[in-house]
Amino acid sequence: MSMWQMYWLLRLDGIVVSCICVTVLIVIAAVVSAVIWGLAVEDEEEERGAFFKKGFLWLVTIAILMLLAGNLIPSTKQMAAIIIVPKIINNKDIQEMPQDLVELSKAWIRDKTEELENTDN
């Protein structure tokens, strides 16, 4: 793993938190924009109302995108699993059980079976 990958792996949780914080700020700005838009419509100030309507729609769109980004970016633990698990699964040494271990296991099972048979008699 390169230093660059390690850096981003460790920064993922911070990026997710940043996305959530930016989303909260944008939602607050959208609410303020909607209130001003509503007041402008009441006062029949169409130009000002159109400006805040456009701003409100942009803020809502950005908030949705930030929420998606915050949810789709994996956490540090998830990313570590994404990187490490395939390497472990695809490792030939781990996939192939050593023959000595298999023989040792069979011998142990035979010994235990013989012990159980002798205790039953």
Amino acid at 33: S
The mean per-residue pLDDT over the stretch 27-35 comes to: 87
Reported as half-sphere exposure (CB side, CA atoms, 13 A), residue 8 has a value of 8
* Predicted confidence (pLDDT) at residue 83 exceeds the cutoff of 80: yes
* Predicted confidence (pLDDT) at residue 46 exceeds the cutoff of 80: no
| 23/60 Cα distance (integer angstroms) | 9
* Residue 118, both tokens: 């002798």
What is 10-74 written as a DSSP string?
HHHHHHHHHHHHHHHHHHHHHHHHHHHHHHHHHTT-HHHHHHHHHHHHHHHHHHHHHHHHHHHSP
Instruction: Identify the pLDDT of residue 24.
Output: 92
Q: For residues 95 and 81, which has the higher predicted lDDT (pLDDT)?
A: 81
Average pLDDT taken over every residue of the chain: 83
| 82/78 Cα distance (integer angstroms) | 6
Residue 44: left if φ>0, alpha if ψ -120 to 50, beta else—which one? left
